[in-house]
Structure 1
Amino acid sequence: MSQDLQKMLDQAFDAATSLYQKNGFQRRVGFGKKPALISVDLANAWTQPGNPFTCDKIDDEIIPGMQRLLEAFRAKNLPIVHVTTCYQVTDRNNPHTDMGLWHNKIPVDFCAQDNEELWAIDDRIAPLEGEQVLIKKHASSFQGTYLAGFLRAAGVDTVLVTGVTASACVRTTVCDAMAEGFRPIAVKECIGDRIPGAVAWNLFDIDAKFGDVETVDTCVEYLNKLEAQR
């Protein structure tokens, strides 16, 4: 992101913070007693170069941050859900496609289910046995999936949300997590996008209205204090 854009965003955030705080926004939802990690679309179609969905800062920020979180979650035997997106019918002229109407806006037809390499989770943060791999069809990880029921059955009250993109699938997942009664924590260094400024703006807005934005360090510190689950 250019210095000029960063300066403009900082000025906008300063002004918005004054307005928000005056009117009672930017409250804290806080960490709960049992968290789950929801990793959104950190699959090859988003993490590897040359694809329509490729995002920025994958190698230098998001993957290293995710590796730290995964290590901390696994050490405590806490739930981990790797979310990805793919479609059985990618013919845009087929009225029975599972893409719904989304293909009229973005190239979701690129993510065909029969090309598993595209929608497989990046090897650097690959799921281990016992970790959920959830396929979604819409932006939110909750819409039309079993995620909420799975989390409730596991006794989860907090979700740490990571992945891409800040402006779409991460944001809608955070919003729906709040709506479903979970405490949403967006992990700052583990969220990306492909458009300059999109991460900064969406994280600022999420922190004001829908969940808390916390650093990897803060999240790992919180996880390390929890008792290991059996």
Structure 2
Amino acid sequence: MSTQLEQALEAAFEEATRRYKERGFQRRVGFGNKPALISVDLANAWTRPGNPFTCEHVDDQIIPSMQSLLKSFRKYDFPVVHVTTCYQITDRSNPHTDMGLWHNKIPVDVVAESNPELWAIDSRIAPIEGEQLLIKKRASAFHGTYLAGFLRAAGVDTILVTGVTASACVRETICDGLADGFRTIAVKEAIGDRVPGAVLWNLFDIDAKFGDVETTETCLQYLDRIGQAKMAGEKLAA
């Protein structure tokens, strides 16, 4: 992103922050007692070059952040859900397609179920045994899926959301997560997009209205804190 654009956005955010705070926005939802990691669309069609959905800063920022988060979630045995998107019927002339009407706006028809290489989670952060792989059809990971029920059954009260894109699937997942009663945390360095400025703007707006934007380091410290308490409790119980 150009320095000029970044400076313009920062100036806009400064004024918007003042207005929001005067009106009671930007409150904190906070961390809860049991987190889950919701990784949205970090599949090859979004993380690898040469695709319509390819995003920026995957290699240098998003993947390293995700690797750190996954290491911590796995260490403490907290739930991880890898979310991806694909479709059974990608014929745009077929009225019975599972793409709904979304293909009239964006090229979701390229992510065919018959081409698993495209919708497979990036091998650098691939699921391991015991982690969920959830296939969605719409922007939000909650829309029409079992995600909310799974999280409630697991006793989760906090979701750390990562992935792409900040302006669409990540944002919609965070909005629906809050609506469904979960504490929503957007992990700053682990969220990306295709368009310059989209990440900065959407994270600012999410932080004002729908969730807390926290750094990867802050999230790792939180995971260590509750993870160590969990392990100590289990040892005491044993």
TM-score (norm 2): 0.96
Q: What is the one-letter code of the residue matched to 1:27?
A: R
Alignment of 1:92-131 (within 5 A): 92-131=92-131
- Looking at structure 1, the residues matched to 74 and 63 of structure 2 have their Cα atoms a distance apart, in angstroms, of 16
2:74 alignment partner in structure 1: 74
1:193 alignment partner in structure 2: 193
1:6 alignment partner in structure 2: 6
1:78 deviation in Å? 0.4
- Number of equivalenced pairs: 230
- Looking at structure 2, the residues matched to 32 and 168 of structure 1 have their Cα atoms a distance apart, in angstroms, of 25
Please provide the CA RMSD for this pair. Answer: 0.8
- Looking at structure 2, the residues matched to 224 and 175 of structure 1 have their Cα atoms a distance apart, in angstroms, of 26
Provide Cα deviations, 1:38-80, integer angstroms capped at 9, x if missing partner. 0000000000000000000000000000000000000000000
Higher helix share: 2
Q: What is the one-letter code of the residue matched to 2:149?
A: G
1:223 deviation in Å? 0.2
- Looking at structure 2, the residues matched to 132 and 81 of structure 1 have their Cα atoms a distance apart, in angstroms, of 5
Provide Cα deviations, 1:108-167, integer angstroms capped at 9, x if missing partner. 000000100000000000000010000000000000000000000000000000000000
Matched, 1:37 2:37: yes
For the residue of structure 2 that corresponds to 1:72, the secondary structure is helix
1:36 deviation in Å? 0.1
Consecutive unaligned residues of structure 1, counting only runs of 5 or more, are none
- Looking at structure 2, the residues matched to 94 and 8 of structure 1 have their Cα atoms a distance apart, in angstroms, of 45
For the residue of structure 1 that corresponds to 2:191, the secondary structure is strand
For the residue of structure 2 that corresponds to 1:186, the secondary structure is strand
Matched, 1:160 2:186: no
Q: What is the one-letter code of the residue matched to 1:12?
A: A
1:20 alignment partner in structure 2: 20
Q: What is the one-letter code of the residue matched to 2:6?
A: Q
1:210 alignment partner in structure 2: 210
For the residue of structure 1 that corresponds to 2:222, the secondary structure is helix
1:221 alignment partner in structure 2: 221
For the residue of structure 1 that corresponds to 2:78, the secondary structure is coil
- Looking at structure 1, the residues matched to 126 and 19 of structure 2 have their Cα atoms a distance apart, in angstroms, of 42
- Looking at structure 1, the residues matched to 182 and 7 of structure 2 have their Cα atoms a distance apart, in angstroms, of 34
- Looking at structure 2, the residues matched to 224 and 67 of structure 1 have their Cα atoms a distance apart, in angstroms, of 15
- Looking at structure 2, the residues matched to 84 and 101 of structure 1 have their Cα atoms a distance apart, in angstroms, of 18
- Looking at structure 2, the residues matched to 5 and 156 of structure 1 have their Cα atoms a distance apart, in angstroms, of 38
Percentage of identical aligned residues: 73
Matched, 1:144 2:126: no
Consecutive unaligned residues of structure 2, counting only runs of 5 or more, are none
Q: What is the one-letter code of the residue matched to 1:92?
A: R
For the residue of structure 2 that corresponds to 1:203, the secondary structure is helix
Alignment of 1:161-176 (within 5 A): 161-176=161-176
1:58 alignment partner in structure 2: 58
